[in-house]
A and B are shown apart, each in its own frame.
Chain A
Amino acid sequence: MLATQEQQSGNMRAIRRIGWLDTMIRARETGLILIIVTLFCVMSLISPYFLTVENIRAMAMAFAVEGIVVVGMTILLISGGIDLSVGSVTALAMVAGGWLFLNGVDPWAAAAMAIALTTAIGMAMGFLTTVVGLHHFIVSLAVMVIARGVCLLATGGRPLGLYSLPPEFKFIGQGTIQNIPLVIIIFVVVVVTFDLLLRRTAAFRKVFYTGSNPKAAAYSGIRVGRVIFATTTLCSTLCGVAGVIYMARFGSAQPSFGIGMELNVIAAAVIGGASLSGGSGTILGAILGAVLLSMVSSSLALLNVSVYWQDIIRGSILLGAVLFDHYLVKRRR
């Protein structure tokens, strides 16, 4: 665009190699980790309850299951889609699993069927967006309302008590291994797996191409429709997994669980660097976004700040992250 841009970019024969250190300093994750560590230190000094095993475990449990949904949402956002139905679909998995169990189905089979149901919902949304060509926003908005309605209809609006769940099943949500909650282990495995897949595999690279410029992706021989179909389905499947874990953890199925979850999840992904226009984002960043939001909530609770203030502060963090992107990251280009 400007005269000197080309001159500044230096010698054409020596395209510079960038070291890992340079990459790390540039990465958004580094900044988020710094903020989280700072907040952690400050809170440990202010509140004697903050730096206790119980509090840390409670904080981790608070975002671990939702974190699985964050993974699905981030991948979907990168591919250029969005899903507003995650909260309802998670609740639907809980309700469906619980209802089947109460009607005599083996709990493991019930859980598998619940996950299969959410997968089918994801495939239906994928069909409507890629084959029929409707917008993600509208399709998932409709599904969000419908799934919630089904939950309430099936339960009469009351939570289903699942007191007779066998202990092996409850172990998924409540058990610990070496004093570490199994929920957190599952969460870490999911996060690490998908982070690596997304960074390293050729298959997931296509997700970035598709989100960055669907037309150019099609002109590179990538089957764009299939990619979006897959990411939409994956997001719903992970909601199903989260729903089943919640069911084991709470020992009940709550039809109004997860209201507003979609906003939390999208906020975490965006704070972590995902863009609503697709093509960018990382799992690690999104999880750090979720950690930050969760830590802020629990810190404010410890400081006895009113819940109403908490929403204002969380919203401001989201806005701050987006403004940061707008002014610092985009301006560099």
Chain B
Amino acid sequence: MGEVILDIEDVHKSFGPVHALRGARLQLRQGEIHALVGENGAGKSTLMHIIDGILQPDSGEIKLDGRKVRIASPNEAHKLGIGFVHQEIALCPEISVAENMYMSETNSSPAWFMRYADINRRAGAVLRELGDIDPTVKAGSLSISQQQIVEIAKALTLDCRILILDEPTAALTETEAKILFRIMHRLADKGIAIIYISHRMAEIFEHCDRITVMRDGCHVRTADVAGITQEEVINSMVGRVLSNLYPAKQAEEERSGRVILSVRGLSESRRIFDVGFDLHEGEILGLAGLIGAGRSEIVRGICRLEGRASGEIALNGRVLQLHDYRDSIREGIVYLSEDRKSDGLFLDMSIAANVSALDIDLISNGMGLIERRREQARARELGQRLQLRANSVDDPVSSLSGGNQQKVALAKMLSVNPKVIFLDEPTRGVDVGAKAEIHRQLRALVREGVGIVVISSELPELIGISDRILVVREGRIAGEVRGDDMTEEKIMHLASIDIGPAAAHG
């Protein structure tokens, strides 16, 4: 491992009365992949914004190559060789990949005209190292993972020596993440130091060299990944011992085995092909698969949220006639969307109004008037059940942290007393504590007889909470794993490799 190139000592930063950083430390060596972990709100983002010059520290030292520096702006950070790939992809979809990559250069260049041939050639050279992406296509036409790679390529065009990746794999599937890690290792071999922010322990332990844990704006520990266990990391993140990462599963014999939901012959032109499965009482059913395999499409098809899927759906033995999602909600089949900000929540509306959005009639009287007290009481009750941290149910959802927002989204589902809940990536962007709480709640719901189907791209999580996992590939159920068969290898195998129909029934 190389020399120390970035050394941050005792950095403090306050926003008014809020102490976001209280003695943050980070030491980065040349050519290492350094994981930075901590719960949401631990101060990771603030620290990264200080390194990138977006924020200025109140006190503390930043040393680059042993020299004290002041990073006044992101522009200056670029000049010092610091590249930042933000969590949210921020490419302009309507212009070419090459134009996106050289946006800041074009912006500061005195030239009047774009030198397309020049930037296309240079973009092509950078992209060739990372993956097969044509620099002349529109950025919006690429898949999410390809866009992520373009974001990294964009940072690399600045000749950076330090690359900050903020949760780059959050939107990626396992295979796509693997490609990304291959790229990261190649960059590290060239001597670039990488700061890698993630919630995914498995990835960190597989790919990173060192790890720094933050909590409440403070530095907790830095260690070689080889010399620390996942439990130790998680315990120092949360500051308490999480005895079990995942709640205990219910023993096979405790379950009645009664079928709650049965799906037969679900098909939709070119997206879903003859999907059939049973959901039993007392089990959490996982849906695994690569992004684009059709997991969300299957689930949304069942709920009649999009498309016009054909096939038979029976709830507790009764065949349902569902025309749109309203019918589905009325029958007690609800869907928690994968992107809570864009299509799950009303961010500027109150927590209470969000919770009652699925069926306002439940909190209205016969005249169609909303009973505010009933609405608030309902939201408070569900909030307490899910351990929602909020001042008041009248506060806007935007004032909550990611994990608490997700709890509101979950409360919205629970408010209609559902019989079956489909959860699409229920813990994406949620910190460890809230994640464990959500897992616990799902287990509790299952015990109450609610049927639960979970989609997750994070395989360890899916294996940890599911009793049975269906693997989806290209719009079909490629296979099923349960018990000790639920391993990442088996699932990935089913998800990515074409096998004969005989094995799919095994």
Contact = CB atoms under 8 A, between A and B. Distances in A.
Contacts of A1: 41, 45, 401
Nearest to A4: B18
Contacts of B183: none
- Between A201, A212, A217, the greatest number of chain B beta carbons within 10 A of the residue's beta carbon is seen for A212
B392 A6 contact: no
Given A200-B369, A333-B398, A205 B393 contact: no
Contacts of A208: 346, 349, 353
A279 B384 CA distance: 27
A121 B390 CA distance: 45
Interface stretch (B169-177, B190-198, B202-210, B358-366): B358-366
Interface in B371-413: 376, 380, 383-384, 387-394, 396, 398-401, 404, 412
Contacts of B46: 2
A258 B358 CA distance: 41
A157 B347 CA distance: 49
Interface residues of B, number: 58
Interface string A72-107: 000000000000000000000000000000000000
A205 B352 CA distance: 12
Interface stretch (B139-147, B231-239, B286-294, B337-345): B337-345
Contacts of B337: 216, 219
A213 interface: yes
A212 B349 contact: yes
Nearest to A222: B357
Contacts of B353: 205, 208-209
Interface in A1-35: 1-6, 8-10, 12-13, 15-18, 23
B329 interface: yes
Nearest to B346: A212
A4 B46 CA distance: 12
B305 interface: yes
A5 B217 CA distance: 12
Contacts of A206: 360
B392 A5 contact: no
A223 B326 CA distance: 9
Nearest to A216: B343
A202 B389 contact: no
A220 B370 contact: no
A328 interface: no
B380 A15 contact: yes
A9 B401 CA distance: 10
B153 to A, nearest CB: 28
B216 A5 contact: no
A15 B329 contact: no
A221 B349 contact: no
Contacts of A212: 346-349
A12 B370 CA distance: 26
B36 interface: no
Interface in A206-230: 206, 208-209, 212-213, 215-223
A203 interface: yes
B20 interface: yes
Nearest to B402: A1
A279 B349 contact: yes
B208 to A, nearest CB: 23
B345 A9 contact: no
B93 to A, nearest CB: 17
A237 interface: no
A205 B360 contact: yes
A6 B388 contact: no
B325 interface: yes
B342 to A, nearest CB: 6
Interface string B144-186: 0000000000000000000000000000000000000000000
A202 B360 contact: yes
B391 A15 contact: yes
A215 B342 contact: yes
B67 interface: no
A280 interface: yes
A213 B348 CA distance: 9
Given A2-B20, A2-B46, A200-B370, 6 more contacts: A9-B391, A12-B390, A201-B369, A209-B346, A212-B347, A216-B344
16 contacts: A5-B18, A9-B391, A12-B383, A15-B391, A16-B392, A201-B368, A201-B370, A202-B368, A202-B370, A212-B346, A213-B346, A216-B344, A217-B346, A219-B325, A279-B346, A280-B348
Interface of B: 15, 17-20, 41-43, 45-46, 216-217, 305, 324-326, 328-329, 335, 337, 342-349, 353, 357-361, 363-364, 368-370, 376, 380, 383-384, 387-394, 396, 398-401, 404, 412
